[in-house]
Amino acid sequence: METWFLLQTKSRQEGRAVENLERQGIQCFCPRISIEKLSRGRRKVVDEALFPGYLFACFDQASVSSTTVRSTRGVSNFVSCAGAPVVVPQELIHSLQQRAIEQQDMEEIAGALKAGDQLEVLEGPFRGLNAIFSQPDGDSRAIVLIDLLNQKVKAVMSFASLQKLDSAGAIS
């Protein structure tokens, strides 16, 4: 039976470990996150491991030797407790994978919107009102302008509660 384990990798070698483990037919999961950093005075978005120095690997201990996994390039050791490798629950892996998919969807939505785009608010106290996209506010929120009492009011909302309208004012 295949089980998920937590592996410790060598410093900044998560990618190498994943590549070499997958060549051996071992399923791996190393959640990643996009981070904005300053590099030589410029802002740059870099993709980094969510848990630096660690990754999850799924394999059947009856068919794959733990020594083989441990001696793979990039892998340092199994994370263990009382001398036995830590088994990671399938639900935790599934939850992390779902969050990674949702994060990717939010980034695609944020990239598709431009300042001035017409939106409709789908949930919350402003549900049903039209809004104008101003700018993103982090990875999962947007700053929008809502017309209340003939004034434009700034509001911060999650991308999930907004839907883009086409140029004719219909939902796209």
The runs of H, that is alpha helices, within 47-164 are 66-70, 90-112
* Cα atoms in the Cβ-side hemisphere of radius 13 Å centred on 3: 15
For tokens 């483990």, what's the residue? 21
Residue with tokens 């802002």: 43
Reported as type and span, the H/E element at residue 18 is helix 14-23
Q: Which two tokens stand for residue 8?
A: 């410790």
Helices (H), 32-137: 66-70, 90-112
Q: Which of 60, 3, 53 has its CA nearest to residue 30? A: 53
Q: List, in sequence order, every residue forming a beta bridge with 3; answer none if it has no partner.
A: 59
Chain centroid offset of residue 81 CA: 28
Q: Which two tokens stand for residue 72?
A: 């793979």
Q: Which domains does the chain have, with CATH numbers?
A: 2-107 (3.30.70.940), 113-164 (2.30.30.30)
CB-based contact 50:32 (threshold 8 Å): yes
| Residues with Cβ within 8 Å of residue 119, at least 6 apart in sequence | 113, 130, 131, 132, 133, 144, 162, 163, 164, 165
pLDDT per position in the chain (172 positions), as tens? 899 999 999 999 999 999 999 999 999 999 988 777 777 888 777 888 989 999 999 999 999 999 999 999 999 999 999 999 999 999 999 999 988 887 776 665 656 778 888 888 888 888 888 898 888 877 678 889 998 888 888 988 888 788 888 765 555 5
Residue 76 in tokens: 């340092």
Cβ atoms 165, 151 nearer than 8 A: no
**Considering the entire predicted model, what is its pTM?**
0.65
